[in-house]
Amino acid sequence: MTTVYANAADHAVAGTYETREADWRMGAVVYQVLVDRFAPPADLAAKRHLYPAPKRLRGWDELPRQGEYLAAHKLWGHEIDFWGGDLQSLATRLDHVRSLHADVLYLNPICDAYTNHKYDALDYRGVSPEYGTRADVIALADTLHAQGMKLVLDGVFNHMGRNSPAFRAAEADPASPYRDWFCFDPALPGGARAWWRAENLPELNLENPAVRADLWGDADSVVRGWLRDGADGWRLDVAFDIGFVYLDELTRSAHAQKPGSLVVGEIPNWPAQWYPSVDGVMHFGLRQLLIRLAGGQLDATTFGCILERMLADCGIENLLRSWIYLDNHDTIRLATALPDPAARRLATVLQFTLPGSPNLYYGSEVDLEGGDDPEMRAPMPWDRVAAGQPTLDLIRRLGALRRSHRALRIGDWRPLIGQRLFAFERHTDRAGDSVLVVVNPTGDVVDEALVVTDSKLMDATPLVDLLGTLDGAPPSLRAALLHLRLPPKGVAVLGVDTAPQGGYTNYKRVQ
């Protein structure tokens, strides 16, 4: 935005925020679904034949539990427990996803695979029959697009399933054309290199150009084909194992097929050098830091220093495309990690207000509990949604705030200077866009004055309590100071009111 009152800093970023707004990948709210566990099917009896023994079909009210190791199948019993959800039942619950103001639906793997988690692909181009067909995925993408949403699929390109026709053929015949797709070694358990030594997950030989061509390089490759059929992006499983060079190949291929598509990597490392091999990362480290901050194991100053370093190393726009998650299918549930509701609220507010794309795991909006694998993959408790719930209300309000306040989606970040409170501003080149976020991660009441280092915010500017969490009216800014008193684990999200008061505004010559 450029006006006659724009200053030198405004001119330097002219058009930046408008360009970010046009990129759906920046600041999007992402909702993650395990298809098998999200919505019960319309006719479960008609699907029972899709779960032959030793697979087991569970009742929707049953919770997943650790199973025994099945040596003959080289997997664990809980990997073949199913709850029966499918793509058609998922489509009947999109109203719930929309109610959370989600921009993106991210599906854990839907490819044809033997297990319930589908990280052991049999056929990347096919859809597991328990879930439906490729036509169902195309129909889902069309529905999402009509509602202004995007679809991201889970790409598992580091390894396949031991039961895949390609691996079986390669294992049985050294002359098979698929023999060089895998790394056979009789000295290894199972006779082939496997991801983290899980024999059911033989690794693909990505050094073989034919493998990369089939996965992402060719016009009819897996990556390009699904983008052509309606997917808008890929979340890449164990992307760190694929490495910088091959990730760069994959990302370039995805962008060539569908300009503006998203490639997000599951990368627990410090993220800086992984860009631009991927568009964004899943913030493993930031998740742990947020949980420790909310749980009282990390102080505000240290957390702020780490965040400033991350922004300096990575760049704001890379972080805006990266996913901020507090739990997912591989971690214990947030409600289990942080039993204190106030601590969970603090972590969730930061998830939705820090620079990035909030990645919400199904069920966490109603405090679904769950410990280690497989407990974190329980079926969606729809009775909790129907009953209403404080966390559900909070997430809906935070999602709405991101829609109505552009700085929370695509704005820059600057810290507010204080001691015990963690506070920051999300801002653009418009003074009225600014949002101030303040949290008290301690177990004490904190009464503190914070320095707001924004030259555009005027003395006596009224603030607006956007979440309604303050006890009493919000303060005004006074000489660049914000004075707040927050209870233990208290939070505040404050907008600035630049509208004329009684016909007068001191913002008349400041944009």
Among residues 411, 461, 420, which one has the least CA distance to residue 438? 420
Residue 283 has pLDDT above 70, yes or no: yes
Contacts 24+ apart (CB under 8 A), 199-203: 199/74, 199/162, 200/73, 200/74, 200/75, 200/115, 200/120, 200/161, 200/162, 200/163, 201/119, 201/120, 201/159, 201/160, 201/161, 201/162, 202/159, 202/160, 202/161, 202/162, 202/167, 203/158, 203/159, 203/241
Measured between alpha carbons, how far is 398 from 390 in angstroms, rounded to an integer?
Answer: 12
Q: How far apart are CA 15 and CA 17, in angstroms?
A: 6
Indicate whether 102 pLDDT > 80: yes
pLDDT at 154 over 80: yes
Question: Which of the following is catalytic: 171, 266, 279, 425?
Answer: 266
Q: Is a pLDDT exceeding 60 seen at residue 132?
A: yes
Decide: residue 44, CB within 10 A, 0-12 exposed, 13-18 middle, 19+ buried. Answer: middle
- Number of residues that make up the chain: 511
Quote the pLDDT of residue 383: 97
Q: Residues 10, 79, 86, 237: which is the catalytic one?
A: 237
pLDDT, residue 3, reads 73
For residue 27, is pLDDT > 50?
yes
- Report d(CA 457, CA 482) in Å as an integer: 11
**Residues 387-409, mean pLDDT to the nearest whole number:** 97
> What average pLDDT does range 242-246 have in this prediction?
98
Helices (H) and strands (E) in the chain, counts: 18, 21
User: pLDDT tens for residues 466-481?
Assistant: 999 999 988 999 999 9
Would you state the pLDDT for residue 82? 98
Residue carrying the six token digits 């726009």:
317
| pLDDT band at residue 4 under the 50/70/90 scheme | confident
Residue 304: count of CB within 10 angstroms of its CB = 18
Q: How far apart are CA 162 and CA 171, in angstroms?
A: 9
- Per-residue H/E/C for 427-493: ECCCHHHCEEEEECCCCCCEEEEEECCCCCCCCCCEEEECCCCCCCCCCECECCEEEEEECCCCEEE
Beta bridge partner(s), residue 415 = 424
Q: Is the pLDDT of residue 502 over 60?
A: yes
Across 168-175, average pLDDT = 97
CA distances for 287 relative to 228, 279, 328, 439, angstroms: 33, 19, 10, 17
240-251 average pLDDT score = 98
Mean pLDDT, residues 175-199 taken together: 96
List 476's β-bridge partners, or say none. 462
Q: Which CATH superfamily is domain 412-496 in?
A: Golgi alpha-mannosidase II (2.60.40.1180)
Alpha-carbon distance of 509 to 114, in angstroms, equals 65
Is residue 299 annotated as part of the catalytic site, yes or no?
Answer: no
Neighbours of 509 (CB within 10 A): 9
Joined together, the tokens standing for residue 475 give 């303060």
pLDDT at res. 297: 97
Closest CA to 340 of 398, 395, 394, 295: 295
Mean pLDDT, residues 426-451 taken together = 97
Structure tokens given for 218: 């060719």
Q: Is the pLDDT of residue 420 over 90?
A: yes
Q: Is the pLDDT of residue 2 over 60?
A: no
Predicted confidence at residue 388, as pLDDT, reads 87
Residue 1 pLDDT greater than 50, yes or no: no
Residue 47 has pLDDT above 80, yes or no: yes
